[in-house]
Structure 1
């Protein structure tokens, strides 16, 4: 399985620090839509393949649980920062992660029990194959659904 090479002492930490904002964009362009990586000592399968996401998040939803643990010992300094971080993270999650409860197969890749699956949401949204003009602001893209229910929410209907 393709994936970034490890440095003897630093693992991939030096790669993350060098390009900390767009590292997933860079790696998906370099290694393809699905590749393997280690998050610390935990193996992860990183994918922007929409068919795999459909399988994990919809078709076989009951086989994939929780959020995969992506970091250990993360602490927040203040309660206010924690509340803001949690709220923003739920609305604009940069990563969607899941863990299989039993082995599953996808295009010759065995998704073992306990393997972390990481779907980079931002990378998918900025991929021109799925969204032709990712940098063009389109208010209808965001406002369509809430505006449909505006009358009901305001008690007008």
Structure 2
């Protein structure tokens, strides 16, 4: 008998649900295998715990208290159901309103004309300052003032 079969067999052996042949095989295996003997001991303890827990009596009002608690929870859900429905509709209406306002605002807003600033686009300029300052290697204060005033 291998250990894979022994777990099921030990459980049935403990519950007296085995045939005579299986009983002799299980007894012989328990005598030779320490691990299965330990497992059988654990199964016996679990069975004892289950039997001890089975003798527990419930309070006579237990079923009534469970039903009352369930009904109280359901009533609490029903009370908030109308408020939740109103809040969802309000959020939906506000969302639609915001989308409409943004859409209409962009529809009626005049489109701004696009202008290109030649100083930002790094295109060469035809200004008088360029014509005056380019031939000279050194720029004087007078050249800068002349260029600024001529612009």
Where on the TM-score scale, by shorter chain, does this alignment land: which range?
under 0.3
Higher percent of residues as helix? 2
Return the structure number with greater strand share. Answer: 1
TM-score by length of 2: 0.21
Greater Rg, structure 1 or structure 2?
2
Q: Taking CA–CA contacts closer than 8 Å with sequence separation of 6 or more, which of the two structures ends up with the larger relative contact order?
A: 1
TM-score, structure 1 as length reference: 0.21
